[in-house]
Amino acid sequence: MAAIMENSLPTEGQGAKIILGEPVQKGYFYGYEGIVLHEEGGEQAILVLENPFWGRVLFINGTAQFTSRDEFIYHEALIHIPIQAFPEGRVKRVLICGGGDFGAAREALKYPEVEEVLIADIDPRVPEVVKRFFPELLPSNLEDPRLKLLTVDAFKLVRELVDQGQKFDLVVIDSTDPDISTSDFTLELSHSLFSEEFHRLLKALAPQGAIVQQAATPFTMKNILEGSFKIFRKVYPAEEVFCYRASIPSFGGDNAYLLRFPGDPTCPQKSQVPETKYYTHAVHRASFALPKFWLTEVLKGEG
């Protein structure tokens, strides 16, 4: 006869074991089971979870930012598509707004032609958490003299750079998603980076450069792409506004990227590709092929 009662689960190591549900849509959650490795509050609540499938997951304000299993897809699409769209030697100065996790910088520094990568992240804790728990996101040489990390509000920094008359070849907005709120309350520190005012500053900072912004997953967060696209079309010439995508498993589907590019970015111009796990020239071209419903429901046929 089988026993009715059971012993408690054994302690598996440091950290509390939890089941975490991340709300995505009405009645729809992403579920994670794992060990909490790190947790702290502040303006941004940070949590690192160890999951048996995804590896380590970084949550900011309750939303998964990336996993150690598939972050390379997000970061490679974010960086290699705009850089590869330029001819050899064209991209020398790169500004990353947000990006304190170093993933975007890691990819940009793979190009010898890049002379400077400046990260402007408002939260000094994110780089330290990544150094401790996500070393795979770090550049091959964290002491690379081309890399500079500033703990600063990217909006304020960009305004200062414009006032100084500085110019960049590539600006990357690698931030958390903006707040979508029916009240005046905003939680995310990235909110201003999706504004018209910010993009007008970027237009002055990179008059002949590329500007790329992650725009969430339209299937479940349509309004983020829709709102961002309207800002791009309002600030930049229509013929310089493009949208591309990358399928990121932990995000639940295709992530959208908006790109301001002075020319045609759909075909790579460089002959060589640095070491990657996702990006190829074939993937580059395919990334600009958008689902019809993106065009009709969100981009109004103008993608």
Return the residue matching tokens 């490679």.
76
Catalytic residue among 174, 177, 179, 184: 174
Q: Are 210 and 261 in contact (CB under 8 A)?
A: yes
Task: Classify 273 as helix, strand or coil.
Answer: coil
Answer yes or no: 174 catalytic: yes
Task: Give one word for 21, left, alpha or beta, with left for phi > 0 and alpha for psi -120 to 50.
Answer: beta
Report how far Cα 234 is from the mean position of its chain's Cα atoms: 22
Per the document, the length of the chain is 303
Backbone phi and psi for residue 212, each to the nearest 5 degrees, phi listed first = -125, 140
Q: Are 223 and 180 in contact (CB under 8 A)?
A: yes
Q: Are 56 and 46 in contact (CB under 8 A)?
A: no
Task: Classify 237 as helix, strand or coil.
Answer: coil
d(CA 176, CA 81): 20
Would you please indicate which residues are annotated as catalytic (active-site) residues?
174
